[in-house]
Amino acid sequence: MSCGPEFSALEPLTYHTRVVDYLRTHEPEVWRWASERTLGTEQLESLRAELLRDTYRIDAQAHGDVHAALATAMQRLGLAGTATLYQSSGLEMNASLVFVPGEIHMVLQGPLLERLSPEELLAVFGHELAHHLLWSRDDGQYLVADRILHDAISAQGSSDSHRETYRRYSLHTEVFADRGSAIAAGAVEPAITTLVKVVTGIGTVDAAAYLRQAEEIESTEQGASTGYSHPETFIRSRALALWWARDEDLETWLRKRLVGALDLDQLDLPDQARLQTLTRGFLAHYLTDTGCVSDAVMAQVRGLFPDWGEDEQGVDLASFAPDLVSDSVYRYLNALMVDLALADPELRDPGLLRAGRLARALGSFDALQVNLQRDAGFNKRQLDRYKRQLANEVSA
């Protein structure tokens, strides 16, 4: 077996735990209800009957080599017990897990058994078994989170933030399952060639060549995945290779590629909470200039945060680095500062100067000028004088 992580290293990703923690904290009643949902005996029997009716069961006696591979994959992933395999009528190569607590039911589709090498078949089994591992561990809390999010987006009037959370949660789940592919196959290369074969249908894949291709794509495409349920193949392959090599920057890379910068137009549930915390810290930072504080200004602040206290801590502006937040966040902060500056006519000028200093520090001064013209009524002469004032502060 090639060197690399063992099944004991197959841990939920940071995003999984972040979403679970968010739902437990902010939706305790929903969490309790979803945790208590179980499949009844009648539902289980109906599910088994449906699988038998719509597929071919791959019997262990008739297909001993296939079940031997499955047993190897299960052993490498630390799973015990029996498993049932089915072949569906679909033509495209694919595999899926039908999750039943304590049971493994896996459906193969298309010519997987004919076109994949023994190591690649192990990778397919490992991927689906990893799904079973994730849903089964820690009292099923990762399955509970998935159910809550799925139900939320299926309901009428579901929010964009729920849809975005479910999308990102699904992407991270696939990356987790891909790791199971590599562990089951005993090497990262079969996991990568399997991904490419299943997506493209090609018969032969060179893993090293595709990783070079993935690096080439990544050098020109810097944004996060736009996939709905699965990340792009090049992202999945890179994520696998970096994890297998125990790359120390993997966590940062995953956040960049699966979540992306904080963007007001694409917030998930954890990011909503994060934005609220950052907003609070930024306002505290703005108010450290006591020349911008008055009862009218504080009334504006408490309109946003009714529980605002005397000991609020300002956030480090490094939290708003360009790789962490999008331009939409800078526009949002600029609007907040201008609103505060205009809250008290007597503090208008020092407030706007404070906004200009912070916008310069954030690199968003050009965008701030739009706010000054639109919201503060600056004409060109006033704007030029304002910029000279700030320039004189810097030179002084």
Please tell me the pTM assigned to this model: 0.93
Say if residues 88 and 54 touch (Cβ distance below 8 Å).
yes
For residue 241, the one-letter residue type is A
Cβ contacts of 281 within 8 Å, gap of 6 or more:
312, 313, 314, 315, 319
Q: How many other C-beta atoms lie within 10 A of the C-beta of residue 220?
A: 6
- pLDDT at residue 393, as a whole number: 79
Query: In the chain, what percentage of residues exceed pLDDT 70?
Result: 98
Say how far apart CA 335 and CA 340 lie, in whole Å.
9
**In this structure, which amino acid lies at residue 257?**
R
Distance CA 191, CA 183 (A): 9
Where are the domains positioned within the chain?
7-259, 269-395
Alpha-carbon Rg for the chain in angstroms: 27
For 228, residues 6+ apart whose C-beta sits below 8 A from its C-beta are: 167, 170
User: pLDDT of 226-274, one tens digit each?
Assistant: 999 999 999 999 999 999 999 999 999 999 999 999 999 999 999 999 9
In the chain, the amino acid numbered 390 is L
100-158 pLDDT tens trace:
999 999 999 999 999 999 999 999 999 999 999 999 999 999 999 999 999 999 998 88
Q: Which residue has the tokens 């060639």?
A: 193
Whether the per-residue pLDDT at 365 is higher than 90: the answer is yes
